[in-house]
Every structure is written in C-alpha cells, then in structure tokens.
Structure 1
C-alpha cells in the first residue's frame, strides 16, 4: 500500500475510532440513581456495593455531614434515630421522611488496600398528592369550566374522564359541555406526582327548563322532545281506549244477535 493510500485510509478510520471510543466511555459512565420517597414514610437508599470481608469502613454522608457509619448505624444530626445502616448490604433506610431530606447522599467504602469510589444516590421527597374538582362560577348550565386543584405546584400531571371514557385533556382545567337533558354526568380528575395518585369527581347536569331559559330563541330540543313524547303518549292512550271501545261494541252486538235468534 502506498504512503498516500495509507494516509487516506488513516484519515477515514481515525474519526470512526474516536467516535467508537467516545461511545464506549459514555456507556461506562452512568447517572446517579434516583430514589423517590413520600413525606412521613420510609425509603431505602442502595449502597451499590455488596458486603466484602476486606471492608474496614462505611460512611454515608448528606452534604458536608456524616449521618451514619459502621460505628453509628442509627444516624447523627438531623437524621438521629431516623436512619438505619444495614450491615449486610450497607443500604441506608431513612424513616419519617421530611421534605428537607431531598438531596444527594454519598456512600464511601474503605478497604485494607484503600478507599473505593464514592457511590452517590439522589433522593427526591414528595408529599402525598391530594386533589379536588370545583366548578368555576358561571351563569351557564350546560357548559362548565371545571378546575382540578392539588396541594402541590410542581411535578403534577393530570388526566380527565367523563364517566368511564378517557378524555384527551391533560391540564388542570376542563371545559365540559352537556347535551340538553343529560343529567348526573360524572367528570373525574386524576392528579398524580412521581409517588402517588389522587382522584376527585363532580357531577354536572343540563336540565331542559334551564336550557330553555338560556336559549336565545326558537324551539329547543328539550321542548320538542317533550312535545313529541306527550303527543306520542296521548296517541298511545287513545289507541288503547279505541281498541277497548271497539271490542266492547262488538261484544254487545253479538249478544243482541244471540238473544234475537233465541226468541225466534
């Protein structure tokens, strides 16, 4: 192979080699694990390292403070009597979680030959979510603006249902519309955060009388439906009465004919 061809080959292969090397390095570096917890409950932070006979020291820290080690497994400072260090896998259990417990925790190991790389865990503590659905004040009966409110402002997602049907709306506000005559339609908001979910419902109705009062003019569907039902009911009753009268008249005529035949 000539020097020119070798140079050309190298110029093509070098970028590919650098790209593969970068991908290999990137794949070997993983993000710190994230653990979610609920205020008032417990959570376990993994140490990322199994027990070995040559471990001489274990230390969990939160910020600049050491909160537990092999000599004090029940915690120090703000974590006193709220944490427990498991001597089997060196995981750290935190009880009665508080919002201020959120942050980065570091676990350091020492062995007879030196210190191992520090293992970091990110803890995010959330309150258990609560939700409520209210109706925005309005003079309209068959159109409603429904508001889903929670006890939290961040990391909240919403879903809505009309009866058992999922709606496409994914915000805290839902514009609901009802057809004339629909009653007790249930609208449900499902609010959730990374650790919990809460549902709240409200019922809406569209009465015919109220709809007529809101109509700008003309014959409403409710009125037309009521008239048609009333006319249909009257016609049905009239038909039944007519059949009954016809049968009675026919029976009386037969009786008279029978008597006349007997007398002759």
Structure 2
C-alpha cells in the first residue's frame, strides 16, 4: 500500500506525459482499455484507477505481480492482462466514466493515460407510424399527403434518418424533416403506391431499421383489394336488419299458431265434457 501511495505522490511531483483516448461500447459487451506507452518504456509499476463518477483503485502491477482484488463497482467484472491492458465487462450504462493508467519505468519516468469510456444501450427496432394529413373524403384519389413518425422508447442519444427505397435520390420538394429527423412529411402520387420508406435509428455503437409503405395507409382498400369499412357497413347493416325482422316475424307467427292450437284443444275438451258416452 505504501508503494501505491508513493506512485501517486510521484504522479503529483514528477513531470508526466499524458495521452487521452475516447472508448465507446454498449451494454452487455466487454471492452478492452489498451495500455499504450512509448517505445523503450520499461514498466516497473502500474496502477489502473476509475476517476469518475467515483475514484477507485481497479488493478495494479507491482514487482511482476498482477492484482485486481480491489473492491469497486467492477468487482468480478475486471481483468488485468499481461500487457497491462484492462478488460471490463459485461458493461452497464453506469460504467461510463473516466479511467486512468499510471505507469512508471525503471528510470522513474511517469506515463499516464486517461481513457473516457461511454457505454450506450443497444438500439432496438424502431416503431414507425403513418398519419394521413387529410381524410379520404377530402383527399384526391390519386394523391396522398402523409407524415411518417419514427420512434425508439427509453433510449437516449438516438439519431434518426430516412431512406426512400427503390430510388437513387430524394426529391427535396416532396420531403421535409422535423424534430431531429423523427418526423417525415411525404407527398405521394399514383406512381408511389409501392414505394417504401425506411427509418434508421442509431447511436454511435448500434442501429436498427423499420420499413413502411405509406400508400397502404392512404387508400387501404385499394392496396389490399378489400372493401372499405363504409362499404362493409352498407352490406352488413341491411342484412342484419332483415335477419332481425325475420326473427321477430317468426316468433310472432309461432306464438299465433300456438294460440290457435291451444284454443282448438280447449274446444275439444269442452265438447267431450258436454257429450259423455252412455
């Protein structure tokens, strides 16, 4: 422990060469924090530390021995390799932070590395919704104005981009972007019935896509070959009313016939009572 304090004191008093590195990874993966030093630098001692959000000792190299026994948030998830590179994993989002490697060579020269680790969530498949700008009654049958919305839930640092399939370029007059690329305004014509749009949601370490054909939402009956909801109502409602009326007539007729049979039976009983057999 005194040797460790001595190294830290040397860091504060002696000239230091510092390099800084940005490291990106994602949740669930492992990351290797490489130890780099100049040619001819013969490492005598080394200390790996976590600087932020809290300062903790992670691993040491002293007298040829590798140690990773310090209690920290990485306990059980840290390994110091023979080349003094530090492996962390599986990673969590809260593992993002700054790490420092302090190395001293046999001549007392100090070399320090600062590594900035950023851990991102894996981007899931985005959700794409289509909103028509007008109702079917007011929209011309050969045109369609829609808004395409792309969204990923509970993930930060996401960027969105759109690609129109089956075409080499995008007509700027037909497309406009809002809300950092999440919303896309599209004007479609008859020639765009089979055109699909793909939304890509991404962060620096992962991405995923979702594709939609917006014309199907403009004129679903034309795209699917099925009758519209109103057409179905025009057929179903009259048939349903007819069946209900037929049922009521059947019940009324059955009740009428039952009443006549009952009256006939009553008359027969009365007749037999008035004319007993001798």
- Shift in alpha-carbon separation, 1:48–1:156, aligned structure 2, 3 A: same
The one of 88, 104, 112 equivalent to 1:110 is 104
Tell whether 2:198 aligns with 1:188.
Answer: yes
- Distance in 2, matches of 1:75 and 1:202, equals 52
Cα deviation, residue 111, structure 1: 3.0
- Residues 30 and 113 (structure 1), Cα distance of their counterparts in 2 relative to 1, 3 Å cut: closer
In structure 1, stretches of 5+ residues that fail to align are: 1-28, 211-264
Cα distance change of structure 1 residues 80 and 102 upon mapping to structure 2, 3 Å threshold? same
Distance 1:86 1:128, change over 3 A: same
Give the Cα separation in 2 of the matches to 1:73 and 1:50: 24
CA distance in 1, matches of 2:40, 2:75: 27
**1:28-107 → structure 2 map (5 Å cutoff):** 32-49=20-37, 54-63=42-51, 64-70=55-61, 71-73=66-68, 76-88=71-83, 90-107=84-101
- Distance (whole Å) between structure 1 residues aligned to residue 22 and residue 108 of structure 2: 27
Count of aligned pairs between the two proteins = 181
Q: For 1:103 and 1:65, how far apart are their aligned partners in 2?
A: 12
Would the alpha carbon gap of residues 164 and 196 (structure 1) be closer, same or farther in structure 2, given more than 3 Å must change? farther
CA RMSD of aligned residues (A): 3.0
Shift in Å, 1:209: 8.1
Structure 2 Cα separation of the partners of residues 185 and 44 of structure 1: 44
For 1:134-173, list aligned pairs within 5 A: 134-136=129-131, 139-140=134-135, 142-151=144-153, 154-165=156-167, 167=170, 169=177, 171-173=181-183
CA distance in 2 between partners of 1:50 and 1:93 (Å): 21
Structure 1 counterpart SS, 2:29 = coil
- Gap regions ≥5 residues in structure 2: 1-16, 137-143, 223-278
Contact 2:47/2:57 (<8 A) preserved: yes
CA shift for structure 1 position 81? 1.7
**In the alignment, is the contact (CA less than 8 A) between 1:75 and 1:82 conserved in 2?**
no
Tell whether the 8 Å contact from 1:103 to 1:124 is kept in structure 2 after alignment.
Answer: yes
SS in 2 for 1:121: strand
Partner residue, 2:242 = none
Distance 1:59 1:192 in 2: 35
Asked whether the equivalents of residues 61 and 68 of structure 1 are also in contact (C-alpha less than 8 Å), the reply is yes
Q: 1:186 to 1:147 in 2, by over 3 A?
A: same
What CA distance in whole angstroms lies between the structure 2 residues aligned with 1:113 and 1:129? 48
Residue matched to 1:237: none
